[in-house]
Structure 1
Amino acid sequence: MGTLLDLDLPAPELTAHLCDLASPSGEEGPLADAVEAALRSVGHLRVDRHGDTVVARTALGRPTRVVLAGHLDTVPVAGNQPTRLDGGVLWGRGTVDMKGGVAVGLRLAAHVPAPVSDVTYVFYDNEEVEAERNGLGRVAREHPDWLAADFAVLMEPTSAAVEGGCNGTLRVAVELTGTAAHSARWWMGSNAIHAAGPVLRRLADHQPATVTVDGLDYREGLNAVGISGGIAGNVIPDRCEVTVNYRFAPAKTEAEAFDHVRQVLDGYDVRLLDTAPGARPGLDRPVAAAFVAAVGGEPRAKVGWTDVARFDALGVPAVNYGPGDPQLAHADDERVDVAEIVTCETRLRAWLTTLAPVEGRAHRRGLGAGGSHESSVESERDWSE
């Protein structure tokens, strides 16, 4: 018999249960099974599954639909499982990235039967690995109607602050060539590694911009992140490659970002390796403004890249919001203050039950009527200390 998840547990305790069920990328199946089974027991939800991604939706005919999304996978366990609770802090793999957010999403899915906006809950696989395996991206390609909405919240760790949109990212390779020779007769050759010096100097001297998008300031960055070259300890190298990463504001397209890098490195052979677009925060949308008003705080820009960009590509504005310090994500001492988990659930519950409906884009796809589900009494253990 598979693992049973009790969605009546307080969110911090549910977080511990989720974390103790290991789900490194590619091994999310047992956890996805448990999530699916738990959500199928909730009468007011329609549940669909694609691979190890589980999608649950209300169908109340509301004028707006919002998405709450979180990934089920973690990076590999590193001696930080099972979890332990110490003085109001929950330690262990996944506590920050991002099973605290997943626990909050599961609790809301079970215990908010009549939100003022229809809600789609997405729990997906393979976020921590290469993009082509990403469960959210797979659903966006094969079942985009499952993600249709007016606004999305990705429950990535943000220390319970709103982080709007995200920067885009691309990587390029700069290839330098020379002439190989014996290092004892170095003057007979041309050193390709030495030729990388001006490239590195140009990058070091570059002053990245800070770009304001929808009222948020996105700090860009252009940096060498790798260098390779050399044949042997007694050979002047005839080849060297510098890898450069550009983090660009969501005001730029991927093509514009690549053009900028080529301008900075004009005169060099620049080859595009990979790229992912940024996402505008969309905070000017009424439904987004209602979210910010409900959860409070001053929104800030997400300088890293997250899956909000996948929603933006579907025309759905999205923000990042969840418990946990993002600087502790993937750390061996990963840990979360359980009070942040409680805070996120409380604020998101208030948003889902008080959001003033606005005219949406008819993202209701004939899901059929649902029933109701009453919340049971909380566990006696006080996880909010």
Structure 2
Amino acid sequence: MDANASVVDLTRELVSIPSYDDETAAGDFLEEWLRREADADTTITRDGVGNVIARKGAAGGETLALVGHHDVVEPAASQVASDDEYTVEERDGRLYGRGTADMKGAVAAAALAFVEADPAGELVFASFVGEEVGGVGARHAIDEGFTPDYAVVGEGSTGYSSPGVTDVAVAHKGRRGSTITAVGTAAHASEADAGENAVYRATDAVSVVRDLEPPAVEVAGERLEGSVVVTEIEGGTAMNVVPDRCEVTVDERTVPDERAPLERVEGIEGVAWTVDQDLPPMRCDDETFAEAVREAADAAQSGTPERVVKPHATDAGWLSAAGTECVVCGPAEPGEAHTDTESVSIDVLERCRETYRRVAEGWTGE
């Protein structure tokens, strides 16, 4: 089997296996493939939530991990062939199907690189579950002691500096989703002064949010700027009743080491603020590692990759928060993930496979 067919075939196999609300079958396939293809000295484990983790090379020194996830978002009807198979199509040098870009193509490239590489130190391959629902697998692995020194996370970084170039993301935003709850006292609308209008209190809180200055940091010569946006509001029970409760949803895109001071809304009487989800941002502080990955990506393609920043949260955020130096480098292009026409370039899959292998064989952490 030639090199190009290998990455195509493995991606096809992975993408065809449904893994939206149950990742078990995709994890089974990955585990069985690794046991068949990896060297005898490779240690392969499947943890309690279904993460697939393999290790080889010299233990005791610096550890490099190639990281991905094998869960996907809900497929469109056109991406489902049957109850137990997703559709995968190849045309015009691309593979189409749910998970091709996000991110089973990168998982296939990383798995192949892991098997092929003669690593400079300890090399780890990890494919997590539950990335699309808040990093369930990554968080579990970290809690169980998954602490690589360095990681290349295969989320999309292609087409950021220029079309077709696979760059290296050295930072990305996080996401904090929260709810502002305003409570008041109900009254008949004809006697509004007898009550306390929760919607008015909520709109006062919204005014506070609108006046907040989103935090920003400089990374890799680019300004990574957060945002704070009110996205939903719900309150009231009837046209003629002063509302006693109103809830406002806030979407905040966070940057490393900074958060917008949303707690200020609690200075308003009757208003409380709760955090519902907090996906951490990521920033690589080891420039030597970031440059080593960029050089590997440069050697694997004709274009010149750059160090860039990424707007979306990934499992790199959880790893970074736990102390791992991370970069993001993968085949997906902006706008491909989660779409009904999701696809990935076959040439870029092979490029990423080569990049991962080069990093694994060249990086020692010294």
TM-score range, shorter chain: 0.7 to 0.9
What CA distance in whole angstroms lies between the structure 2 residues aligned with 1:175 and 1:76? 30
Structure 2 counterparts to residues 91-170 of structure 1, below 5 A: 91-112=96-117, 114-131=118-135, 134-142=136-144, 144=145, 147-159=146-158, 160-170=166-176
Structure 2 counterparts to residues 197-208 of structure 1, below 5 A: 197-208=203-214
CA shift, 1:38, in A, is: 1.3
Q: Choose the corresponding residue for 1:251, options 241, 252, 257.
A: 257
CA shift, 1:289, in A, is: 2.6
Counterpart amino acid of residue 180 in structure 2: V
What CA distance in whole angstroms lies between the structure 2 residues aligned with 1:77 and 1:168? 24
What CA distance in whole angstroms lies between the structure 2 residues aligned with 1:109 and 1:263? 48
Structure 2 counterparts to residues 1-385 of structure 1, below 5 A: 9-25=5-21, 27-41=22-36, 42-43=38-39, 44-51=41-48, 52-60=50-58, 63-79=61-77, 80-81=79-80, 82-112=87-117, 114-131=118-135, 134-142=136-144, 144=145, 147-159=146-158, 160-186=166-192, 188-213=194-219, 217-252=223-258, 257=259, 260-263=261-264, 266-267=267-268, 269-274=271-276, 275-284=278-287, 286-296=288-298, 297-355=305-363, 357-359=364-366
What CA distance in whole angstroms lies between the structure 2 residues aligned with 1:74 and 1:348? 22
What percent of counterpart residues are identical? 29
CA pair 208-234 structure 1, distance change in 2 beyond 3 A:
same
What CA distance in whole angstroms lies between the structure 2 residues aligned with 1:328 and 1:200? 33
5+ residue gaps in structure 1? 1-5, 360-385
What CA distance in whole angstroms lies between the structure 2 residues aligned with 1:148 and 1:236? 53
| Cα pair 1:175 1:270 within 8 Å, conserved | yes
What CA distance in whole angstroms lies between the structure 2 residues aligned with 1:76 and 1:200? 32
Q: Which range moves more in the overlay, 164-173 or 114-123?
A: 164-173
CA shift, 1:124, in A, is: 1.6
Counterpart amino acid of residue 78 in structure 1: A
| Cα pair 1:8 1:107 within 8 Å, conserved | no
CA shift, 1:156, in A, is: 1.2
CA shift, 1:245, in A, is: 2.8
Structure 1 residue ranges, 4+ long, deviating more than 4 angstroms after superposition: 6-9, 184-190, 213-216
Q: What secondary structure sits across from 1:345 in the alignment?
A: helix
CA shift, 1:105, in A, is: 1.1
The C-alpha deviation readout for 1:118-158, integer Å capped at 9, x for no partner, is 21000121222245xx122112112x1xx332210111122
| Cα pair 1:7 1:106 within 8 Å, conserved | no
| Cα pair 1:214 1:282 within 8 Å, conserved | no
Q: What secondary structure sits across from 1:329 in the alignment?
A: coil
CA shift, 1:32, in A, is: 1.2
CA shift, 1:62, in A, is: 8.1
CA shift, 1:328, in A, is: 2.2
What CA distance in whole angstroms lies between the structure 1 residues aligned with 2:207 and 2:69? 39
What TM-score does the superposition give when structure 2 sets the normalisation length?
A: 0.83
CA pair 293-8 structure 1, distance change in 2 beyond 3 A:
closer
CA shift, 1:167, in A, is: 2.7
CA shift, 1:107, in A, is: 1.0
The C-alpha deviation readout for 1:37-83, integer Å capped at 9, x for no partner, is 11112224211111311111112358532100111111122221311
CA shift, 1:186, in A, is: 4.6
What CA distance in whole angstroms lies between the structure 2 residues aligned with 1:178 and 1:327? 43
Q: What secondary structure sits across from 2:100 in the alignment?
A: coil
CA shift, 1:242, in A, is: 1.4
CA shift, 1:215, in A, is: 5.2
What CA distance in whole angstroms lies between the structure 1 residues aligned with 2:17 and 2:224? 36
Q: What secondary structure sits across from 2:313 in the alignment?
A: coil
The C-alpha deviation readout for 1:145-183, integer Å capped at 9, x for no partner, is xx3322101111222322223333333332323332334
Counterpart amino acid of residue 120 in structure 2: V
CA pair 166-22 structure 1, distance change in 2 beyond 3 A:
same
CA pair 116-130 structure 1, distance change in 2 beyond 3 A:
closer
Higher strand share: 2
What CA distance in whole angstroms lies between the structure 2 residues aligned with 1:8 and 1:246? 41
Cα RMSD of the aligned pairs, angstroms, is: 2.6
Q: What secondary structure sits across from 1:70 in the alignment?
A: strand
| Cα pair 1:214 1:283 within 8 Å, conserved | no
What CA distance in whole angstroms lies between the structure 1 residues aligned with 2:63 and 2:308? 24
What CA distance in whole angstroms lies between the structure 2 residues aligned with 1:69 and 1:245? 27
What CA distance in whole angstroms lies between the structure 1 residues aligned with 2:219 and 2:268? 31
